A and B are shown apart, each in its own frame.
Chain A
């Protein structure tokens, strides 16, 4: 099948999330998308080969990170090259020659272009011979020329130097502005009826929702729903959402009408929030597994809110059973909880997802990590049989970051309910401990998310940074 090349202009944010988002949306709509090495995450432009124009339009309407999409006429690192290719693409644009109003935009990336030079660039395209009127407000056709420079000059170029300085020049016809990107404003946390100090920012909530392939008729679960940030975005895309949390106060807020339902009503998705329940995922009431198309969650990792599970910090002595006292005031009773170490929680979450997801279903969640300590095999400590990582995108905050992990249930086997006895990965050995234990050759790698909370509050210092004591 013949394909056409399309230029994707990305928003300059969350570079690591661009390719996973494109692949997810292509999978959602069921069209093939081959991204070999066409997209370099450090560049805001990508060129895709697609069978149908409709496909690139679907991407533009759903991908949060797409600013606009163009039918590509030419791409090259000199204008000579660009004009030669553009002449060869005449069959794509000749239908606009006779009587179509148009506009021409020239944009620079990593530099700005003076008005005079913009005019000159436009005039160099005069051989196209468009006879329609120029209409800057409502043109029928917008032609875009993007000059990408290697990086960071940020200089104003007065003259048309043309050759070799560009990394690439792209030229094409605007098809659509990305219409999903404005949703970031719609879901702005500050304008939300109900939110908390752990609410997830709108852009990331939307990116997460896209990773779940949310669409009408799907059933999606957030087991640490908190104040519901991802419930609104997944429900916006049409899915039914089920939420639970160990702490009912997060879901309720202070008014009688639960806070999550108030915010959901604001977004017009109230009826798609299927239900909210208070329980601990390690003691959950699910009657059976294989229920959900996706699980989306931001597990509490201990910085603003620590993860808790039912239990006591000090285990009770086994031979002193608790007297089964009837609960006198059911609503007021708060059972004791104990901390839930992150590496154990993450491993349990994946096992729970394997039980609760339908075959092919996705688990989408954030795993915080210490940038310097992260290794790819960190994820091995989280995975279990039948679960496969399909995307892993870093949001970098400097010393630490968080990784959005997308895992697919790549099996149609049913698994028994999880037992939630994952042990935390053994803590890091201090420098020198390995030698003392006579095992210098094979130090065990400890995942960077182990004891994340403690590392965070110690400012991610390495043991060697500590002064003499």
Chain B
């Protein structure tokens, strides 16, 4: 749980935290690898939504260097397989995600991130 596809979609949403609030920094992670359905059409469709730099940063934070630093122009089969693995098969079961701007820590426990905000972070 907490796959990098999810991480790539979550930004800090505390009050006033609107710039430099993404990507959340991954720390103290406990990882697990679990196989997922390989669906090239899904990946091609989703790719335009991916923030590539954030994906690279996050994958390196947790020790995976399989993807190229530059967003690829063409997706060949090898690259699709690598993208599939990084986005969908690496799970962060424990750890935390920290906002680079305000420093809010979103903890992950048993694979479920707690993205709830405290009262003073809303108003």
Contact = CB atoms under 8 A, between A and B. Distances in A.
A216 B118 contact: no
B52 to A, nearest CB: 13
Chain B's interface: helix, strand, loop or mixed, by majority? loop
Given A258-B110, A275-B2, A311-B122, A291 B49 contact: yes
Categorize the interface residue count of chain B.
35 or more
B122 A283 contact: yes
B4 to A, nearest CB: 10
A325 B118 CA distance: 10
Interface residues of A, number: 49
Given A277-B6, A286-B9, A291-B9, A252 B118 contact: no
Nearest to A286: B9
Interface in A288-327: 288, 290-291, 310-312, 316, 321-325, 327
Nearest to A276: B112
Interface string A216-227: 111100000000
A362 interface: no
Interface of A: 216-219, 238, 240, 242, 244, 246, 248, 251-252, 256-258, 261, 270-272, 274-280, 283-288, 290-291, 310-312, 316, 321-325, 327, 330-331, 333, 335-336
Given A217-B45, A288-B9, A335-B118, A316 B123 contact: yes
Contacts of B109: 331
Contact of A278 (B12, B46, B114, B119): B114
A334 to B, nearest CB: 8
Contacts of B39: 216-217
Interface of B: 1-3, 5-6, 8-13, 22, 34-37, 39, 41-42, 45-46, 49, 51, 88, 105, 107, 109-120, 122-123
For the complex of A and B, list the 6 residue pairs with the smallest distance between their C-beta atoms, beginning with the closest.
A279-B115, A217-B42, A322-B120, A275-B6, A287-B11, A271-B36
17 contacts: A246-B116, A252-B110, A274-B5, A275-B1, A275-B3, A278-B116, A279-B114, A284-B115, A285-B12, A310-B119, A312-B119, A325-B120, A330-B114, A331-B109, A331-B114, A335-B118, A335-B122
A119 B16 CA distance: 79
A275 to B, nearest CB: 4
Contacts of B112: 248, 251-252, 258, 276-278
Contacts of B122: 283, 310-311, 335
B116 A280 contact: yes
A449 to B, nearest CB: 27
Contacts of B114: 248, 278-279, 330-331
A275 B3 CA distance: 7
Contacts of A251: 112
Contacts of A285: 10-13, 115
